[in-house]
Structure 1
Amino acid sequence: MTAVRVAAVAAHFGRDVEQCLAKIEGIVADARGQSVDLLVFPDATIGGYLGGLGGTDDTGLPPALDADAPELGRLARAAGDMVVCLGFRERAGGRHHNAAVCLTGDGVLGRHRKVHQPAGELSAYRAGDRFDAFDTPVGRIGLLIDYDKTFPESARTLASGGAELIACLSAWPASLTNRAPRLVQDRQSRLFDLYDCARAAENQVVWVSANQTGTMGRLRFLGQSKVVGPGGEVLARTWAKAGLAVADLDVASEVGRSRLVLSHLRERRPEAYR
Protein backbone atom coordinates (compact mmCIF):
# COMPACT_ATOMS: atom_id res chain seq x y z
CA MET A 1 0.00 0.00 0.00
CA THR A 2 1.42 3.35 -1.07
CA ALA A 3 -0.10 6.69 -0.19
CA VAL A 4 0.07 9.48 -2.76
CA ARG A 5 -0.58 13.18 -2.35
CA VAL A 6 -2.98 14.57 -4.94
CA ALA A 7 -3.82 18.23 -5.44
CA ALA A 8 -6.37 20.18 -7.47
CA VAL A 9 -5.54 23.75 -8.50
CA ALA A 10 -7.95 26.67 -8.35
CA ALA A 11 -6.48 29.65 -10.20
CA HIS A 12 -7.08 32.09 -13.03
CA PHE A 13 -5.28 31.84 -16.37
CA GLY A 14 -5.51 34.53 -19.04
CA ARG A 15 -4.46 35.08 -22.64
CA ASP A 16 -0.75 35.79 -22.15
CA VAL A 17 0.98 32.45 -22.75
CA GLU A 18 4.28 33.41 -21.13
CA GLN A 19 2.50 34.60 -18.00
CA CYS A 20 0.54 31.34 -17.91
CA LEU A 21 3.70 29.26 -18.25
CA ALA A 22 5.44 31.16 -15.47
CA LYS A 23 2.39 30.83 -13.23
CA ILE A 24 2.16 27.10 -13.90
CA GLU A 25 5.86 26.69 -13.08
CA GLY A 26 5.37 28.62 -9.85
CA ILE A 27 2.41 26.46 -8.79
CA VAL A 28 4.33 23.29 -9.69
CA ALA A 29 7.25 24.47 -7.55
CA ASP A 30 4.91 25.24 -4.65
CA ALA A 31 3.27 21.82 -5.01
CA ARG A 32 6.68 20.15 -5.07
CA GLY A 33 7.45 21.90 -1.80
CA GLN A 34 4.33 20.20 -0.42
CA SER A 35 5.42 16.79 -1.79
CA VAL A 36 2.51 16.55 -4.23
CA ASP A 37 2.60 13.49 -6.51
CA LEU A 38 -0.34 14.35 -8.80
CA LEU A 39 -1.18 17.96 -9.64
CA VAL A 40 -4.29 18.76 -11.69
CA PHE A 41 -4.72 22.22 -13.23
CA PRO A 42 -7.96 23.72 -14.60
CA ASP A 43 -9.11 23.61 -18.21
CA ALA A 44 -7.48 26.17 -20.52
CA THR A 45 -4.41 26.51 -18.30
CA ILE A 46 -2.36 27.87 -21.19
CA GLY A 47 -4.07 30.87 -22.78
CA GLY A 48 -7.32 30.91 -20.85
CA TYR A 49 -10.86 29.96 -21.76
CA LEU A 50 -13.47 31.72 -23.89
CA GLY A 51 -14.88 35.06 -22.78
CA GLY A 52 -18.49 34.04 -23.27
CA LEU A 53 -20.77 31.25 -24.46
CA GLY A 54 -22.81 31.90 -27.55
CA GLY A 55 -22.07 35.60 -27.80
CA THR A 56 -19.28 37.86 -28.99
CA ASP A 57 -16.77 39.33 -26.56
CA ASP A 58 -13.57 41.35 -26.71
CA THR A 59 -11.22 38.72 -25.25
CA GLY A 60 -10.55 36.98 -28.56
CA LEU A 61 -10.01 33.26 -28.93
CA PRO A 62 -7.41 31.52 -26.77
CA PRO A 63 -4.02 31.05 -28.47
CA ALA A 64 -3.52 27.59 -29.98
CA LEU A 65 -0.59 25.21 -29.55
CA ASP A 66 0.43 22.10 -31.48
CA ALA A 67 0.34 18.78 -29.64
CA ASP A 68 4.15 18.75 -29.54
CA ALA A 69 4.58 22.47 -28.81
CA PRO A 70 7.81 23.47 -27.03
CA GLU A 71 5.69 25.06 -24.29
CA LEU A 72 4.53 21.58 -23.29
CA GLY A 73 8.12 20.36 -23.28
CA ARG A 74 9.03 23.23 -20.98
CA LEU A 75 6.26 22.27 -18.56
CA ALA A 76 7.23 18.60 -18.69
CA ARG A 77 10.71 19.57 -17.56
CA ALA A 78 9.20 21.65 -14.76
CA ALA A 79 7.05 18.69 -13.70
CA GLY A 80 10.03 16.40 -13.23
CA ASP A 81 8.88 13.33 -11.29
CA MET A 82 5.48 14.88 -10.54
CA VAL A 83 2.45 13.88 -12.63
CA VAL A 84 0.87 17.09 -13.94
CA CYS A 85 -2.41 17.48 -15.86
CA LEU A 86 -3.21 20.75 -17.65
CA GLY A 87 -5.32 22.12 -20.49
CA PHE A 88 -4.79 24.13 -23.67
CA ARG A 89 -6.34 24.89 -27.06
CA GLU A 90 -4.82 22.33 -29.40
CA ARG A 91 -4.21 23.01 -33.09
CA ALA A 92 -4.40 19.90 -35.28
CA GLY A 93 -4.84 19.71 -39.05
CA GLY A 94 -6.48 23.11 -39.38
CA ARG A 95 -8.90 22.37 -36.54
CA HIS A 96 -8.85 23.22 -32.86
CA HIS A 97 -9.73 21.18 -29.79
CA ASN A 98 -10.23 21.92 -26.14
CA ALA A 99 -7.49 19.56 -24.98
CA ALA A 100 -5.85 18.21 -21.84
CA VAL A 101 -2.52 16.51 -21.41
CA CYS A 102 -0.96 14.51 -18.57
CA LEU A 103 2.81 14.71 -18.39
CA THR A 104 5.95 14.20 -16.34
CA GLY A 105 9.60 14.91 -17.02
CA ASP A 106 9.59 11.75 -19.16
CA GLY A 107 7.05 13.31 -21.54
CA VAL A 108 3.34 12.94 -22.30
CA LEU A 109 1.57 10.06 -20.56
CA GLY A 110 -1.95 10.65 -21.86
CA ARG A 111 -4.18 13.07 -23.76
CA HIS A 112 -7.85 13.97 -24.04
CA ARG A 113 -9.92 16.15 -26.34
CA LYS A 114 -13.17 17.44 -24.86
CA VAL A 115 -16.07 15.42 -26.27
CA HIS A 116 -19.19 17.17 -24.97
CA GLN A 117 -19.56 20.81 -25.95
CA PRO A 118 -21.98 23.49 -24.80
CA ALA A 119 -23.37 25.41 -27.75
CA GLY A 120 -21.10 28.40 -27.24
CA GLU A 121 -17.97 26.32 -27.89
CA LEU A 122 -18.88 25.10 -31.36
CA SER A 123 -17.22 28.00 -33.20
CA ALA A 124 -13.96 27.69 -31.21
CA TYR A 125 -13.41 23.95 -30.81
CA ARG A 126 -13.99 20.67 -32.64
CA ALA A 127 -15.29 17.85 -30.43
CA GLY A 128 -13.15 14.89 -29.48
CA ASP A 129 -14.46 11.37 -29.93
CA ARG A 130 -13.11 9.07 -27.21
CA PHE A 131 -12.27 8.47 -23.56
CA ASP A 132 -9.09 6.54 -22.78
CA ALA A 133 -7.51 5.59 -19.46
CA PHE A 134 -3.73 5.32 -19.21
CA ASP A 135 -1.05 4.29 -16.73
CA THR A 136 1.02 6.78 -14.72
CA PRO A 137 3.42 6.56 -11.76
CA VAL A 138 0.51 7.33 -9.40
CA GLY A 139 -1.94 4.85 -10.91
CA ARG A 140 -4.25 4.45 -13.87
CA ILE A 141 -5.82 7.80 -14.78
CA GLY A 142 -8.56 9.14 -17.01
CA LEU A 143 -8.99 12.75 -18.13
CA LEU A 144 -12.22 14.72 -18.55
CA ILE A 145 -12.75 18.35 -19.47
CA ASP A 146 -15.47 20.52 -18.01
CA TYR A 147 -18.87 19.67 -19.57
CA ASP A 148 -17.78 16.06 -20.10
CA LYS A 149 -18.57 15.37 -16.45
CA THR A 150 -22.23 16.24 -16.97
CA PHE A 151 -22.63 12.97 -18.87
CA PRO A 152 -22.34 9.80 -16.72
CA GLU A 153 -21.08 7.77 -19.67
CA SER A 154 -17.85 9.78 -19.78
CA ALA A 155 -16.58 8.82 -16.34
CA ARG A 156 -18.09 5.33 -16.59
CA THR A 157 -16.10 4.66 -19.77
CA LEU A 158 -12.87 5.67 -18.04
CA ALA A 159 -13.64 3.59 -14.95
CA SER A 160 -14.50 0.62 -17.15
CA GLY A 161 -11.09 1.11 -18.75
CA GLY A 162 -9.43 0.65 -15.38
CA ALA A 163 -9.06 4.28 -14.26
CA GLU A 164 -9.00 4.56 -10.47
CA LEU A 165 -8.18 8.27 -10.60
CA ILE A 166 -10.15 10.69 -12.77
CA ALA A 167 -8.79 14.18 -13.30
CA CYS A 168 -11.49 16.63 -14.38
CA LEU A 169 -10.17 19.97 -15.68
CA SER A 170 -12.74 22.76 -15.81
CA ALA A 171 -13.33 26.36 -16.70
CA TRP A 172 -16.82 26.17 -15.19
CA PRO A 173 -18.61 29.52 -14.86
CA ALA A 174 -21.51 30.75 -12.82
CA SER A 175 -24.88 30.76 -14.52
CA LEU A 176 -25.28 33.36 -17.27
CA THR A 177 -29.09 33.14 -17.28
CA ASN A 178 -29.90 32.98 -13.59
CA ARG A 179 -27.32 35.06 -11.71
CA ALA A 180 -27.20 34.56 -7.96
CA PRO A 181 -25.99 37.29 -5.57
CA ARG A 182 -23.43 34.87 -4.09
CA LEU A 183 -21.53 32.10 -5.89
CA VAL A 184 -22.48 29.57 -3.24
CA GLN A 185 -26.14 30.10 -4.21
CA ASP A 186 -25.54 29.77 -7.94
CA ARG A 187 -27.23 26.96 -9.85
CA GLN A 188 -24.05 26.07 -11.72
CA SER A 189 -22.14 26.05 -8.44
CA ARG A 190 -24.54 23.44 -7.09
CA LEU A 191 -24.29 21.32 -10.24
CA PHE A 192 -20.50 21.55 -10.31
CA ASP A 193 -20.27 20.06 -6.79
CA LEU A 194 -23.05 17.56 -7.42
CA TYR A 195 -21.40 16.10 -10.51
CA ASP A 196 -18.02 15.83 -8.77
CA CYS A 197 -19.41 13.81 -5.89
CA ALA A 198 -21.86 11.74 -7.93
CA ARG A 199 -19.31 10.69 -10.56
CA ALA A 200 -16.82 9.67 -7.88
CA ALA A 201 -19.41 7.65 -5.96
CA GLU A 202 -21.14 5.96 -8.88
CA ASN A 203 -17.82 4.78 -10.31
CA GLN A 204 -16.07 4.30 -6.95
CA VAL A 205 -12.98 6.24 -8.04
CA VAL A 206 -10.85 9.07 -6.69
CA TRP A 207 -11.95 12.28 -8.40
CA VAL A 208 -9.63 15.28 -8.71
CA SER A 209 -11.55 18.35 -9.89
CA ALA A 210 -9.73 21.58 -10.80
CA ASN A 211 -11.44 24.79 -11.88
CA GLN A 212 -10.56 28.31 -12.91
CA THR A 213 -11.23 31.32 -10.71
CA GLY A 214 -11.72 35.00 -11.59
CA THR A 215 -13.36 36.27 -14.77
CA MET A 216 -12.89 36.19 -18.53
CA GLY A 217 -15.17 38.43 -20.55
CA ARG A 218 -18.73 37.68 -19.47
CA LEU A 219 -17.79 34.53 -17.55
CA ARG A 220 -17.21 34.37 -13.80
CA PHE A 221 -15.52 31.11 -12.81
CA LEU A 222 -16.51 29.24 -9.68
CA GLY A 223 -13.28 27.82 -8.30
CA GLN A 224 -14.42 25.02 -5.94
CA SER A 225 -11.53 22.73 -6.82
CA LYS A 226 -11.62 19.54 -4.78
CA VAL A 227 -10.50 15.98 -4.20
CA VAL A 228 -13.35 13.47 -3.76
CA GLY A 229 -13.02 9.93 -2.43
CA PRO A 230 -14.64 6.86 -4.01
CA GLY A 231 -17.58 7.09 -1.63
CA GLY A 232 -18.42 10.60 -2.80
CA GLU A 233 -16.91 12.30 0.26
CA VAL A 234 -15.05 15.58 -0.26
CA LEU A 235 -11.54 15.12 1.14
CA ALA A 236 -10.21 18.62 0.39
CA ARG A 237 -11.50 21.75 -1.35
CA THR A 238 -10.61 25.35 -2.10
CA TRP A 239 -14.10 26.88 -2.12
CA ALA A 240 -14.23 29.92 -4.45
CA LYS A 241 -10.73 31.24 -3.84
CA ALA A 242 -7.47 30.38 -5.58
CA GLY A 243 -5.37 27.72 -3.93
CA LEU A 244 -4.63 24.00 -3.76
CA ALA A 245 -6.98 21.28 -2.52
CA VAL A 246 -4.57 18.63 -1.19
CA ALA A 247 -5.35 15.12 0.03
CA ASP A 248 -3.27 12.07 0.97
CA LEU A 249 -4.62 8.63 0.19
CA ASP A 250 -3.73 5.14 -0.95
CA VAL A 251 -5.71 5.14 -4.18
CA ALA A 252 -5.75 1.40 -4.86
CA SER A 253 -6.63 0.62 -1.24
CA GLU A 254 -9.40 3.22 -1.06
CA VAL A 255 -10.94 2.13 -4.36
CA GLY A 256 -10.65 -1.56 -3.43
CA ARG A 257 -12.30 -0.99 -0.04
CA SER A 258 -15.16 0.95 -1.63
CA ARG A 259 -15.82 -1.96 -4.02
CA LEU A 260 -15.41 -4.73 -1.46
CA VAL A 261 -19.13 -5.40 -0.87
CA LEU A 262 -20.87 -3.35 -3.56
CA SER A 263 -18.96 -3.14 -6.83
CA HIS A 264 -20.86 -0.90 -9.21
CA LEU A 265 -18.85 -1.84 -12.29
CA ARG A 266 -19.12 -5.58 -11.66
CA GLU A 267 -22.80 -5.46 -10.79
CA ARG A 268 -23.93 -3.58 -13.87
CA ARG A 269 -26.65 -5.19 -16.04
CA PRO A 270 -25.95 -3.87 -19.56
CA GLU A 271 -28.53 -6.18 -21.13
CA ALA A 272 -31.26 -4.25 -19.28
CA TYR A 273 -30.10 -0.79 -20.33
CA ARG A 274 -32.17 -0.03 -23.41
Structure 2
Amino acid sequence: MRTRLAAVAENFGRDLDAAYATIDRLLRRARAEGTGLIALPEACLGGYLSSLGSAEDRGTAETRRQRSGPPALALDGPELRRVQEMARDVVVVLGICEDGGTDRYNTAVALTGDGVLGVHRKVHQPLGENLSYAAGSTFEAFETPVGRIGLQICYDKAFPEAARTAALDGARIIVSISAWPGARTAAAADLAQDRWKKRFDLYDQARALENQVVWVASNQAGTFGSLRFVGSAKVVGPGGDVLADTGVDTGVAAADVDVEAELDAARRAMFNLRDRRPDVYGALVREPAHA
Protein backbone atom coordinates (compact mmCIF):
# COMPACT_ATOMS: atom_id res chain seq x y z
CA MET A 1 0.00 0.00 0.00
CA ARG A 2 1.41 3.38 -1.00
CA THR A 3 1.54 6.19 1.53
CA ARG A 4 2.19 9.83 0.74
CA LEU A 5 5.12 11.08 2.83
CA ALA A 6 5.89 14.80 2.91
CA ALA A 7 8.81 16.86 4.20
CA VAL A 8 8.60 20.62 4.64
CA ALA A 9 11.18 23.36 4.11
CA GLU A 10 9.74 26.52 5.65
CA ASN A 11 10.71 29.53 7.77
CA PHE A 12 9.40 29.53 11.33
CA GLY A 13 10.23 32.20 13.90
CA ARG A 14 9.06 33.29 17.34
CA ASP A 15 5.53 34.28 16.28
CA LEU A 16 3.27 31.37 17.28
CA ASP A 17 0.23 32.76 15.51
CA ALA A 18 2.20 32.96 12.27
CA ALA A 19 3.39 29.39 12.84
CA TYR A 20 -0.16 28.13 13.35
CA ALA A 21 -1.27 29.84 10.14
CA THR A 22 1.56 28.20 8.20
CA ILE A 23 0.90 24.79 9.74
CA ASP A 24 -2.81 25.08 8.99
CA ARG A 25 -2.04 25.91 5.34
CA LEU A 26 0.35 22.99 5.04
CA LEU A 27 -2.05 20.55 6.68
CA ARG A 28 -4.99 21.63 4.54
CA ARG A 29 -2.89 20.84 1.49
CA ALA A 30 -1.64 17.59 3.02
CA ARG A 31 -5.16 16.33 3.72
CA ALA A 32 -6.33 17.33 0.25
CA GLU A 33 -3.48 15.29 -1.26
CA GLY A 34 -4.09 12.28 0.96
CA THR A 35 -0.83 12.66 2.86
CA GLY A 36 -0.21 10.08 5.58
CA LEU A 37 2.78 11.74 7.25
CA ILE A 38 4.15 15.27 7.12
CA ALA A 39 7.40 16.37 8.76
CA LEU A 40 7.67 20.01 9.82
CA PRO A 41 11.04 21.54 10.76
CA GLU A 42 12.90 21.57 14.05
CA ALA A 43 11.71 24.41 16.32
CA CYS A 44 8.71 25.24 14.17
CA LEU A 45 6.68 26.32 17.21
CA GLY A 46 8.62 29.27 18.59
CA GLY A 47 11.68 29.28 16.37
CA TYR A 48 15.25 28.12 16.82
CA LEU A 49 18.21 29.83 18.50
CA SER A 50 19.34 33.02 16.84
CA SER A 51 23.01 32.00 16.71
CA LEU A 52 25.40 29.12 17.34
CA GLY A 53 29.03 29.23 18.42
CA SER A 54 29.36 33.02 18.51
CA ALA A 55 30.14 35.61 21.18
CA GLU A 56 26.41 35.79 21.83
CA ASP A 57 26.56 32.20 23.12
CA ARG A 58 28.85 32.95 26.07
CA GLY A 59 27.68 32.56 29.62
CA THR A 60 26.06 29.88 31.71
CA ALA A 61 23.02 27.84 30.77
CA GLU A 62 20.98 29.93 33.20
CA THR A 63 21.99 33.28 31.70
CA ARG A 64 21.51 31.96 28.18
CA ARG A 65 17.97 30.83 28.96
CA GLN A 66 17.13 34.27 30.31
CA ARG A 67 17.79 35.78 26.89
CA SER A 68 15.24 35.95 24.11
CA GLY A 69 14.82 32.28 23.23
CA PRO A 70 11.95 30.09 22.09
CA PRO A 71 9.03 29.62 24.46
CA ALA A 72 9.11 26.42 26.52
CA LEU A 73 6.01 24.33 25.75
CA ALA A 74 4.49 21.40 27.64
CA LEU A 75 3.78 18.16 25.80
CA ASP A 76 0.23 18.25 27.15
CA GLY A 77 -0.17 22.01 26.72
CA PRO A 78 -2.58 24.01 24.56
CA GLU A 79 0.01 24.70 21.85
CA LEU A 80 0.35 21.05 20.80
CA ARG A 81 -3.37 20.43 21.30
CA ARG A 82 -4.01 23.14 18.72
CA VAL A 83 -1.78 21.30 16.23
CA GLN A 84 -3.55 18.02 17.04
CA GLU A 85 -6.85 19.63 16.12
CA MET A 86 -5.41 20.64 12.75
CA ALA A 87 -3.71 17.29 12.17
CA ARG A 88 -6.83 15.10 12.36
CA ASP A 89 -5.80 11.78 10.80
CA VAL A 90 -2.44 12.95 9.41
CA VAL A 91 0.71 11.97 11.30
CA VAL A 92 2.54 15.24 11.98
CA VAL A 93 6.13 15.49 13.21
CA LEU A 94 7.22 18.90 14.48
CA GLY A 95 9.83 20.51 16.68
CA ILE A 96 9.38 22.47 19.91
CA CYS A 97 11.35 23.74 22.87
CA GLU A 98 9.99 21.38 25.51
CA ASP A 99 9.39 22.47 29.09
CA GLY A 100 10.91 19.62 31.05
CA GLY A 101 10.56 21.26 34.47
CA THR A 102 14.05 22.23 35.56
CA ASP A 103 15.40 21.67 32.02
CA ARG A 104 14.42 22.56 28.49
CA TYR A 105 14.82 20.15 25.61
CA ASN A 106 15.01 20.50 21.86
CA THR A 107 12.23 18.04 21.11
CA ALA A 108 10.54 16.35 18.17
CA VAL A 109 6.94 15.28 18.65
CA ALA A 110 4.88 12.94 16.47
CA LEU A 111 1.12 13.34 16.80
CA THR A 112 -2.28 12.97 15.22
CA GLY A 113 -5.67 14.30 16.20
CA ASP A 114 -5.84 11.45 18.70
CA GLY A 115 -2.82 12.66 20.66
CA VAL A 116 0.95 12.37 20.96
CA LEU A 117 2.39 9.17 19.46
CA GLY A 118 6.08 9.57 20.23
CA VAL A 119 8.69 12.03 21.49
CA HIS A 120 12.42 12.43 20.85
CA ARG A 121 14.73 14.79 22.73
CA LYS A 122 17.75 15.85 20.67
CA VAL A 123 20.81 13.88 21.77
CA HIS A 124 23.72 15.45 19.88
CA GLN A 125 24.24 19.17 20.43
CA PRO A 126 26.23 21.50 18.17
CA LEU A 127 28.21 24.50 19.41
CA GLY A 128 26.34 26.59 21.97
CA GLU A 129 23.13 24.55 22.00
CA ASN A 130 24.00 22.95 25.35
CA LEU A 131 23.67 26.41 26.91
CA SER A 132 19.98 26.45 26.01
CA TYR A 133 18.93 22.81 26.11
CA ALA A 134 19.61 19.66 28.09
CA ALA A 135 20.43 16.60 25.97
CA GLY A 136 18.22 13.59 25.39
CA SER A 137 19.52 10.05 25.72
CA THR A 138 17.49 7.63 23.57
CA PHE A 139 16.60 6.71 19.97
CA GLU A 140 13.45 4.60 20.16
CA ALA A 141 11.03 3.61 17.44
CA PHE A 142 7.26 3.56 17.96
CA GLU A 143 4.10 2.61 16.13
CA THR A 144 2.05 5.09 14.10
CA PRO A 145 -0.80 4.82 11.57
CA VAL A 146 1.83 4.89 8.76
CA GLY A 147 4.07 2.25 10.34
CA ARG A 148 6.87 2.07 12.87
CA ILE A 149 8.99 5.22 12.83
CA GLY A 150 12.01 6.70 14.55
CA LEU A 151 12.76 10.38 15.16
CA GLN A 152 15.90 12.46 15.27
CA ILE A 153 16.82 16.12 15.20
CA CYS A 154 19.35 17.93 13.01
CA TYR A 155 22.91 17.16 14.25
CA ASP A 156 21.74 13.68 15.28
CA LYS A 157 21.93 12.74 11.58
CA ALA A 158 25.71 13.22 11.57
CA PHE A 159 26.07 10.17 13.83
CA PRO A 160 25.37 6.85 12.09
CA GLU A 161 24.76 5.15 15.45
CA ALA A 162 21.65 7.30 15.95
CA ALA A 163 19.79 6.11 12.86
CA ARG A 164 21.11 2.56 13.29
CA THR A 165 19.70 2.39 16.84
CA ALA A 166 16.22 3.35 15.61
CA ALA A 167 16.47 0.93 12.68
CA LEU A 168 17.44 -1.91 15.01
CA ASP A 169 14.36 -1.02 17.07
CA GLY A 170 12.26 -1.73 14.01
CA ALA A 171 11.87 1.74 12.47
CA ARG A 172 10.77 1.46 8.82
CA ILE A 173 10.65 5.23 8.40
CA ILE A 174 13.04 7.64 10.10
CA VAL A 175 11.98 11.28 10.30
CA SER A 176 14.82 13.75 10.74
CA ILE A 177 13.71 17.31 11.46
CA SER A 178 16.26 20.13 11.30
CA ALA A 179 17.21 23.77 11.62
CA TRP A 180 20.38 23.09 9.60
CA PRO A 181 22.23 26.26 8.59
CA GLY A 182 24.70 26.99 5.86
CA ALA A 183 28.39 27.40 6.62
CA ARG A 184 29.31 30.18 9.05
CA THR A 185 32.72 30.79 7.43
CA ALA A 186 33.56 30.97 3.73
CA ALA A 187 29.85 30.73 2.99
CA ALA A 188 28.90 30.16 -0.63
CA ALA A 189 27.06 32.99 -2.38
CA ASP A 190 24.88 30.33 -4.01
CA LEU A 191 23.31 28.42 -1.13
CA ALA A 192 22.86 25.37 -3.36
CA GLN A 193 26.68 25.11 -3.48
CA ASP A 194 27.22 25.59 0.25
CA ARG A 195 29.39 22.90 1.83
CA TRP A 196 27.02 22.49 4.80
CA LYS A 197 24.10 21.99 2.42
CA LYS A 198 26.11 19.28 0.68
CA ARG A 199 26.79 17.57 4.01
CA PHE A 200 23.10 17.73 4.89
CA ASP A 201 22.23 15.95 1.63
CA LEU A 202 24.97 13.35 1.98
CA TYR A 203 23.89 12.44 5.50
CA ASP A 204 20.26 12.05 4.42
CA GLN A 205 21.13 9.67 1.59
CA ALA A 206 23.75 7.72 3.53
CA ARG A 207 21.53 7.16 6.58
CA ALA A 208 18.68 5.86 4.37
CA LEU A 209 21.00 3.58 2.37
CA GLU A 210 23.03 2.10 5.22
CA ASN A 211 19.92 1.28 7.25
CA GLN A 212 17.66 0.45 4.29
CA VAL A 213 14.84 2.63 5.60
CA VAL A 214 12.68 5.37 4.14
CA TRP A 215 14.10 8.72 5.26
CA VAL A 216 11.97 11.87 5.61
CA ALA A 217 14.00 15.03 6.27
CA SER A 218 12.51 18.45 6.95
CA ASN A 219 14.41 21.70 7.54
CA GLN A 220 14.03 25.35 8.27
CA ALA A 221 14.46 27.67 5.27
CA GLY A 222 15.26 31.36 4.98
CA THR A 223 17.03 33.17 7.80
CA PHE A 224 16.69 33.63 11.55
CA GLY A 225 19.06 35.77 13.60
CA SER A 226 22.56 35.12 12.22
CA LEU A 227 21.60 31.78 10.69
CA ARG A 228 20.84 31.09 7.03
CA PHE A 229 19.12 27.72 6.63
CA VAL A 230 19.69 25.40 3.67
CA GLY A 231 16.12 24.10 3.20
CA SER A 232 16.58 20.91 1.16
CA ALA A 233 13.66 18.97 2.65
CA LYS A 234 13.47 15.57 1.03
CA VAL A 235 12.17 12.01 0.96
CA VAL A 236 14.82 9.34 0.36
CA GLY A 237 14.20 5.69 -0.48
CA PRO A 238 15.97 2.76 1.20
CA GLY A 239 18.42 2.54 -1.71
CA GLY A 240 19.61 6.09 -1.07
CA ASP A 241 17.71 7.52 -4.04
CA VAL A 242 16.09 10.95 -3.53
CA LEU A 243 12.38 10.61 -4.32
CA ALA A 244 11.47 14.27 -3.75
CA ASP A 245 13.44 17.40 -2.79
CA THR A 246 12.56 21.06 -2.27
CA GLY A 247 16.02 22.43 -3.05
CA VAL A 248 17.10 25.43 -0.97
CA ASP A 249 13.75 27.23 -1.27
CA THR A 250 10.63 26.85 0.85
CA GLY A 251 8.29 24.11 -0.24
CA VAL A 252 7.02 20.58 0.31
CA ALA A 253 8.80 17.45 -0.93
CA ALA A 254 6.21 14.67 -1.25
CA ALA A 255 6.43 11.12 -2.54
CA ASP A 256 4.01 8.21 -2.69
CA VAL A 257 5.88 5.25 -1.22
CA ASP A 258 4.95 1.62 -0.64
CA VAL A 259 7.21 1.40 2.40
CA GLU A 260 7.09 -2.37 2.88
CA ALA A 261 7.60 -3.12 -0.81
CA GLU A 262 10.51 -0.66 -1.00
CA LEU A 263 12.20 -2.15 2.06
CA ASP A 264 11.65 -5.70 0.83
CA ALA A 265 13.22 -4.85 -2.53
CA ALA A 266 16.20 -3.10 -0.93
CA ARG A 267 16.82 -6.00 1.45
CA ARG A 268 16.37 -8.80 -1.08
CA ALA A 269 20.03 -8.96 -2.12
CA MET A 270 21.68 -7.10 0.73
CA PHE A 271 20.40 -6.94 4.32
CA ASN A 272 22.50 -4.37 6.16
CA LEU A 273 20.82 -4.96 9.51
CA ARG A 274 20.82 -8.76 9.39
CA ASP A 275 24.44 -9.01 8.21
CA ARG A 276 25.93 -6.88 10.95
CA ARG A 277 28.87 -8.23 13.01
CA PRO A 278 28.42 -6.63 16.45
CA ASP A 279 31.07 -8.95 17.87
CA VAL A 280 33.75 -6.89 16.11
CA TYR A 281 32.34 -3.43 16.77
CA GLY A 282 33.68 -2.93 20.30
CA ALA A 283 35.55 0.22 19.28
CA LEU A 284 32.24 1.98 18.69
CA VAL A 285 31.60 2.26 22.41
CA ARG A 286 35.18 3.07 23.43
CA GLU A 287 36.57 6.58 23.65
CA PRO A 288 38.80 7.33 20.64
CA ALA A 289 42.48 7.21 21.42
CA HIS A 290 43.06 10.71 20.10
CA ALA A 291 39.86 12.45 21.13
Q: TM-score w.r.t. structure 1 length? A: 0.97
Aligned to 2:215: 207
In 2, Cα distance between the equivalents of 1:184 and 1:25?
A: 28
Question: How many pairs does the alignment contain?
Answer: 272
* Correspondence for 1:263 among 271, 275, 285: 271
Aligned to 2:152: 144
Aligned to 2:165: 157
* Correspondence for 1:134 among 134, 142, 145: 142
3-state SS of 1:221 partner: strand
In 2, Cα distance between the equivalents of 1:91 and 1:18?
A: 19
Instruction: Give the deviation of 1:54 after TM superposition.
Output: 2.1
Aligned to 1:13: 12
Q: Is the 8 A contact 1:8 1:41 kept in 2?
A: yes
- Unmatched runs of 5 consecutive residues or more in structure 1: none
3-state SS of 2:218 partner: strand
Instruction: Give the deviation of 1:60 after TM superposition.
Output: 2.2
Q: Is the 8 A contact 1:178 1:187 kept in 2?
A: no
* Correspondence for 1:219 among 215, 227, 232: 227
Tell me if 1:175 matches 2:183: yes
Give the partner amino acid of 2:235: V
Aligned to 1:43: 42
Aligned to 1:53: 52
3-state SS of 2:41 partner: coil
Deviates more, 1:198-207 or 1:88-97: 88-97
Alpha-carbon deviations, 1:141-160, whole Å to 9, x = none?
A: 00010000000000000000
In 1, Cα distance between the equivalents of 2:245 and 2:281?
A: 35
In 2, Cα distance between the equivalents of 1:142 and 1:116?
A: 16
In 1, Cα distance between the equivalents of 2:29 and 2:145?
A: 20
Give the partner amino acid of 1:259: R
Alpha-carbon deviations, 1:39-87, whole Å to 9, x = none?
A: 0001001011111102328x92111101211110111111111111000
* Correspondence for 2:251 among 232, 237, 243: 243
- Unmatched runs of 5 consecutive residues or more in structure 2: 58-66, 283-291
Q: Is the 8 A contact 1:87 1:98 kept in 2?
A: yes
3-state SS of 1:213 partner: strand
3-state SS of 2:164 partner: helix
Which ranges of 4 or more aligned residues in structure 1 deviate by more than 3 Å? none
Coordinate RMSD, CA, aligned: 1.1
Tell me if 1:93 matches 2:93: no
Tell me if 1:233 matches 2:241: yes
Instruction: Give the deviation of 1:260 after TM superposition.
Output: 1.1
3-state SS of 2:170 partner: coil
Identity fraction in percent: 54
